Structure 1
């Protein structure tokens, strides 16, 4: 059972986002009707705000890199020019061409991508992505370790931010992303935030582990504060 109160105590600035890559539209979910978006990661922002919906590949067409990462198939007249996008990034000194083959991608081309607040959606998430401060990500990471979803060290990705989705899905472990310039502009991710991602099937266990992890960290923080005060007092004599 998901302990939503523990997520509330974590103090996230928005909902954790459940994402599913599907062959059929999810039952009980309406299609996206919010108009054109500059990139597929814009849908994260709306799901963080509590919306649940699904998209078709054409809704992602304005970000060729995102289309590539999501494994989406588009007609030629709708497909963004991945080559032109890569050329722009390389020309700006933003990307090395040698990095492109290493970018994780969704293996099976989905026909639909669904989004919504994790634990509150009528579909099974393939991955849950959380915008978090480093302190919040620390607790999520420790909860993932406690739940057996994460080793002590986890992969940390950068550009493109959406690559964290297949990275977590394919490894069946949690992952971190520092974001990317495009994602931060599109989603409004704060300078003090990053992304933590967990395989969807493992998300309930991570949430269930949060209470014990938060309690343990509060106890250790109190210990360290008391020790620091004691050492400081001894040093002043």
Structure 2
């Protein structure tokens, strides 16, 4: 639970949704290092889809966990710590062949700068924040630009400073919204990627915010104060 006093994740989620006017739930994500640490009572997802699609399912009410076998996008799976990057992803060749870059070197430099989670995790658990049966490592919010602005204001409310958005238009909901906040312990805002907009149906007017689960109570209290 956050060090800022709140009365559980149901209250946190409801306050976020009410304050921002969200139509989807914030998504609680937990990285599970060992099989015995998979939260009790959660079933494994029964289909193979992409991490971004899993986030969308959880935002709409589903609770489940996934291993690397269920993660259809292996680039995304490697970003969130479920596997080593496939060789073609690691070298940048995948994105160069997709014509995302003018050269293999540009693709490789971008891939090298994308945040990745280490060590290899056993599973990833997903749930709507209000019913999450675990303490989330990261909370992902699908928002419109105004809602992301309000979250940015809450992030700097107490200590000031700047919110630095770090993204490159690839591996968005996996690397930008989960791996970045998890490894750096700071929030990140990302504009999505071609995959998440195509497969997870992220709308043209939506952006993605990844928050550190450890201080979510502070963020909620700041939202209320604004």
| Short-chain TM bin | 0.7 to 0.9
Distance 1:51 1:92 in 2: 32
Listed one character per residue, the Cα deviations across residues 86-108 of structure 1 (whole Å, up to 9, x for unaligned) are: 42420232042221111110122
Q: Work out whether 1:73 is the aligned partner of 2:67.
A: no
Judge conservation of contact 1:21–1:110 (CA < 8 Å) in 2. Answer: yes
- Judge which range, 80-89 or 106-115, deviates more: 80-89
Shift of 1:81: 4.5
Distance 1:5 1:84, change over 3 A: closer
Distance 2:41 2:197 in 1: 31
Higher relative contact order (CA 8 A, sep 6+): 2
Greater Rg by CA: 1
Q: How does 1:1-237 map to 2 (within 5 A)?
A: 1=6, 2-3=11-12, 4-22=14-32, 23=34, 24-33=37-46, 35-37=47-49, 39-60=50-71, 62-73=72-83, 81-83=86-88, 86-95=92-101, 96-148=107-159, 151-158=161-168, 159-161=170-172, 162-164=174-176, 165-213=178-226
Aligned length: 204
Distance 1:134 1:128 in 2: 17
The ranges of structure 1 where at least 4 consecutive aligned residues each deviate by more than 2 angstroms after the TM superposition are 84-88
Shift of 1:110: 0.9
> What is the root-mean-square deviation of aligned Cα atoms in Å?
2.1
Unaligned runs of 5+ in 1: 75-79, 214-237
Distance 1:175 1:90 in 2: 25
Distance 1:98 1:6, change over 3 A: closer
Judge conservation of contact 1:140–1:210 (CA < 8 Å) in 2. Answer: yes
